[in-house]
Amino acid sequence: MYQIPFLNIFQRASTNNWHEIQPHPSVNSKFKRALDILGSLVGLLILAVVFIPIAIAIKIDNPGPIFFTQERYGLYGKTFRIRKFRSMVADAEQLKNLVKNESEGLIFKSKDDFRVTKIGRFLRSTSLDELPQFWNVFVGEMSLVGTRPPTGDEVMHYNQRHWQRLDVKPGLTGEWQVNGRSQIADFESVVDLDLQYQKKWYPMYDLLVVFKTIYVIFARIGAY
């Protein structure tokens, strides 16, 4: 486990301007929270319907657990745990050093990652592997729309600009997912999109991103 302390908005500010730091408007938006609850309930209903077929397919394709569980960093650097349907072989973390990272910066992507199982590729291309995270949205650890929650090995190298990604709740989807997804291989470009979301945000904007995400998923754009 990476021992990175909880980082709040005041810790990033200098002693001269800490009082000027304000939470992003989305953090306290009642509309956004209502949308998250409604959307997560729909997502959990879909999860209940497809859980057994997906679980059986994962087990048949590759022995091991149904879920992949990992600690992630959320709003202001607070940690929480996510679960995904497992899309890789059971010992994927131990084999990571054998895979070439095709991205630049603090993200890891490989189009032909040999650790991904056959059912895993389908789950990823359809985003079905993400369904369990609707629970994180329901309990308030995540939002439907935001930035993707980073891992410990990512945030241990963050600078102040990178930490600004976490001035909003992490999301199931966001600007990265609807503007290229895995085709965007540069971490700094991902950060640019995340900060762009914070500048552009207004309550109905989240709904627009959700609709764009649905199109991207069904068109299978940029996923691997």
The full DSSP string for 105-151 is SS----TT-TTB-HHHHHHHHHTGGGGGGHHHHHTTSSEEESBPPPP
Residue type, 192: D
Q: How far apart are the first and last CA of the chain?
A: 27
> Considering the chain, what percentage of its residues have pLDDT values greater than 70?
88
- The partner residues of 85 in beta bridges, in order of sequence, read 67
What is the per-residue pLDDT across 28-63, written as a single tens digit (0 to 9) for each?
999 999 999 999 999 999 999 999 999 999 999 999
pLDDT for res 34 = 97
Task: Enter the DSSP assignment of 75.
Answer: G
